[in-house]
Structure 1
C-alpha cells in the first residue's frame, strides 16, 4: 500500500465488536470468477442463518442477476440491485427506487460515445443496448441469463434509468472515464467502477452505502452493527457506512485500505473465511 493508502486505513474507526446483519457484494466476493458459490460459502451462509444473522446481497447487477442465486442460497431477505439504487423485498416487489435525471443520462451517454465505451441502460427489469456485438454483451447475457433489448438509439429511453454501465476492453479508458464522468456529473450521480471493464453511473444516492443503511433500517439494526464484504471501488461507500468492513484479497490496494480487514481472494475461499473468522466470532461473543 502507498502512504496515502496507509493513512486511509489508519483513519478508520475501530471495527465493530457486535454484528447483527451482513451485507455482501456478489461478483468478485461471494461468487468465484466462474460465477459459482462454493460449498464452503454455502456452509457459511447456513452458519449465519443458524446464528440468526440476516444476509442481504447488494450488487451492481440488475434484479434478475441477483434473484438467480436465491434458490441455491436459500435466501429470503431483501436485496439491493443496480448498485443499491433499487431495494427489493424478498418477494421481488420494489421497496424503494431511485432514477437518474434524464439530462444526466444524456450527458453520460454523450461522454461514453465520445470515448468509445459501449453504453447499457438499466430500467427496472429492462436491459437496453444499442450495440449487440459489444465486447461484453454475450458474456453478460450468459451471466445474467437474460437477453438485452436491442435499440437503434437511446433517444426516448432516458427516463426512469436506474443505472448506466459503460464497458470497454481498454481498462485504462474505463478508469479515465471514472474520473472524467465523475467530474462531469458531480452532484448529480454516483460514478464508480464495478470491475476493471465496467463503469457504473447511478443516481447520486444510489450507492452501496445508501443500500446498506436502508437494509439495516428495515431489519432494525444500526449500521454500526452491520458487517459488509466487497472488492471494488463501488463497495467503498458501504465500507464507510458499516461497523465492520472486509475487503477481498484481490481488491485494489486503495479499496483494501478503506476496509478494517482483508480476507483471502475469491479463488481461495475468501468469503467463507471472512464469515467464519471475522463475522461469526462477533455474533457469538455479543460483546
Structure 2
C-alpha cells in the first residue's frame, strides 16, 4: 500500500519529469494538497524559471497554496518578469490575511504593478488584513485615484475592510473631481454600514450637490411623495459600477450608502424623501429602500 509520504514524494519527483503535461499534473495535485505539500517548495521555486510559461504559471499556482511557509517565496515572486507569476503571488498572499502583515510594504508596491490584475490582487490582499492594514491607507487612497477602474473599486473595498482608520480618507474622496472616485468612495462607506456614521453629512451634501432632476407626476406614485415609508418593499439597485459612473450613479451610490448606515443617518431623511421625486427610476427605488433602512423598518 502506498503511503501519503510516498505519494507526495512521487508528485515532487514528477515536478522534474521531462513531460510538461506530467509536470503540470503534478503541480495541480500539489495545489490541492495545500500546506501538506510544503516539501515541494524548492522544486516549485525552481520551476518558476522554466522556459515554458505554462510551467511557470502552474508552479506559481501551487506555491500560492502552500501557506505562510511559502511567504518569502511569494514576496520574491512579486517582482518576477512573468505577470502570471506575480498574479499568483498576490493571490497567495491574500489567502494569508493578517498573517501577511509583515510584507504589507511589498504589497503596497504591487499596487503600482503594470499588470492591472496584479495591482487589483494586491488591493484585495491588503484588504484581507482588515484593520491590521491601517498603515496602507495612503497607498490605497492613491490607488483609488489612478486610471485602473477595477483597482479603484478594489482599493475602496480594501479601505472599507480596514474600517475606521480609513474613514476620513473615504470621506475626503467624496469631493474628488473624478466621478469614478466619488462613486466608489460612497459605495465603500455604505459597505462600512453604521461605522460610517461620520459620513452622513458629506454623503448628504453629495446627494444635494448632484444634478437631481425631478420626475414628472407620471413617473412616480403620488402616494410616495413626502412620505417616510414606502408601502411596498422594493429591492435596491446594485451600486453603480465605476465604469458607468454618472451624476445619476453618484446619487444612487450616495442614497444606498445612507441607507446602509441605517438609523444613524436620520438627519438625511428629508433629502432621501426628496430623492423619491428624482427623474431616475433607479434613484427613486434606492431612496425607497434607504428610507426604510434609516427608519429601521428593514
Q: How high is the TM-score relative to the length of structure 2?
A: 0.25
Judging by fraction of residues, say which structure has more strand.
1
Q: TM-score, normalised by structure 1?
A: 0.25
Structure number with the bigger relative contact order (C-alpha 8 A, sep ≥ 6) is 1
